[in-house]
Amino acid sequence: MKRLIIEGQKTLSGTIKIGGAKNSVVALIPAAILSNQRATIYNVPNISDVKNLKNITQYLGSTITFENETITIDNTGLKNKEITSEFSTKLRASYYYMGALLAKFKHVEISLPGGCSIGSRPIDYHLKGFEKMGATIIQDNDRFIIDAKVLHGADIFFDIASVGATINIMLAATLAQGTTHIYNAAMEPEIANVANFLNSMGAKIGGAGTSEIRIEGVNELSNGIVEVIPDRIEAGTYLMIGSLLGKNLIIDGIIKDHLDSVLTKLHEAGANFKVKGCQLIVNKSSHLKPVNVRTLVYPGFPTDLGQPMSTLLTQCEGECLFEETIYENRMRHIKHLCAMGADIKLFDKKAIIRGKTKLKGREVVATDLRAGAAMLVAGMIAEGTTIITNIEHILRGYENIVGKLSEVGASIKLEDI
Ligand code: EPU
């Protein structure tokens, strides 16, 4: 068990380099097992989700190395084995082995995935999609057996544009017989990143990044290569911290388009930043105006930045409405913000945040990954010492967070407890 200790209110200057996107790499590693040969993934962040996926891929018999931000995977020894709960519950993205193993072996045995407890998070769209493609599914408590005599293309329509289901169906469809259409597909940039990787192996995927994806199945996939896109959520988190504490803080290695909704909202609030190519230059804002934030699927304001944004809203002068629309349970950080001095009224998935309030350091809990990011932002601006426990969640998704923030002047350390 570890905890973070932060002395707040330090000015931040210098450069923070953004790493590869967690939500891309967690799909790219399972996708790599579709290659009959080798796959190379560049710009891989060193986060615990990557370590857990590396363990699963190794357990399946592939040879995997991770050095200099590069993963190479050789699938010569790959075998179809059951992925037990010991592996699957370590993270959400273990569910991508469903689509990948189904495509490759037409048979999967796997237990339910883990991940942050931010709502019920069903996987019914994934399963219904596989069934439409000819698979039969037996569920025995947490364990699934998915089998397809023949996996064929299908027309699949999602009620909600789900990131995970879009990627899982895309994985399965690459090696299915015939053509699959996904309608109301999720449009997050991570999906195009995965499609580009699969296409580099010889898959035939068009439309990824739009709401309609067409996948023409092929017989096999060969060598693949991809660079993980920059983590827009990591960049957005540091942008928020910089808007509150920055002095020419440079956030380096972003793709501006991926952050448009976030930049627009921060601009509306009067945040002080400039975009220069692939960099953001951020300064503390003397006066932040109240804004309303509603999380939405891409290209809307990302749910993964809603919680850290809610901490920033406590520093806006006036009343802000913050609404989470994707998950039922992404407000558990609010009580910890209030304990630090925030003035927030919570109504289920909506919060009215009144600012500007002084935050005071105290012991708080990272109840999930992005709640942890919200606590981190709070600790950075609070007076005195903030101790964040349960930070294993944060380490799953933010690469070298202590090193990156210390280098620009933060007082933050990691302690074993
Ligand atoms: N949904 C269903 N049925 C399904 C799939 C989804 O009802 O079969 C619902 C979910 O319950 C949720 C909504 O659809 O209300 C959207 O869920 P989605 O499937 O898009 O989420 P996910 O694939 O499970 C990924 C990221 C999340 C991120 C969301 C939205 C990974 C491993 N996780 O989750 O990341 O919040 O997309 O962008 O890629 C995080 O990084 O903190 C995180 C939670």
> Largest alpha-carbon pair distance within the chain?
64
pLDDT given at position 323: 98
Residue 35 main-chain phi, psi, to 5 deg: -75, 140
pLDDT for residue 132:
98
pLDDT on residue 116: 85
The residue whose CA has the least distance to atom 23 of ligand 1 is 164
| Number of Cβ within a 10 Å radius of residue 74 | 15
pLDDT at residue 117 in the model: 85
Side-chain-facing half-sphere of 87: CA atoms under 13 Å: 22
| DSSP designation for 89 | T
User: Rounded to two decimals, what is the model's pTM?
Assistant: 0.97
The three-state (H, E, C) secondary structure of 272-289, written as one string: EEEEECCEEEEECCCCCC
pLDDT at 119: 84
Question: Is 2-19+230-416's fold the same as 22-227's?
Answer: yes
What's the chain's length in residues? 417
Query: How many angstroms separate the CA atoms of 120 and 106, rounded?
Result: 28
DSSP, collapsed to helix, strand or coil, labels residue 6 as strand
Q: What is the pLDDT of residue 140?
A: 93
Superfamily grouping for domain 2-19+230-416: Enolpyruvate transferase domain (3.65.10.10)
Distance CA 255, CA 229 (A): 8
Q: In the chain, where are the structural domains located?
A: 2-19+230-416, 22-227
Protein residue with its CA nearest to atom 4 in ligand 1: 123
Right CATH number for 22-227 from 3.30.540.10, 3.30.420.40, 3.40.50.80, 3.65.10.10? 3.65.10.10
Q: List per-residue pLDDT tens for the chain, 417 residues long.
A: 999 999 999 999 999 999 999 999 999 999 999 999 999 999 999 999 999 999 999 999 999 999 999 999 999 999 999 999 999 999 999 999 999 999 999 999 999 999 888 888 899 999 999 999 999 999 999 999 999 999 999 999 999 999 999 999 999 999 999 999 999 999 999 999 999 999 999 999 999 999 999 999 999 999 999 999 999 999 999 999 999 999 999 999 999 999 999 999 999 999 999 999 999 999 999 899 999 999 999 999 999 999 999 999 999 999 999 999 999 999 999 999 999 999 999 999 999 999 999 999 999 999 999 999 999 999 999 999 999 999 999 998 999 999 999 999 999 999 998
Phi/psi at 138 (5° precision): -115, 125
Residue 322 and residue 353 in contact, taking contact as beta carbons nearer than 8 Å: yes
Report the distance separating Cα 65 and Cα 80, nearest Å.
20
pLDDT of residue 187: 98
Pocket of ligand 1 (CB under 6 A): 22-23, 26, 92-93, 116, 119, 121-126, 160, 162-165, 186, 188, 303-304, 326-327, 369-370, 397
**Active-site residue, 278 included:** no
pLDDT the model gives residue 156: 98
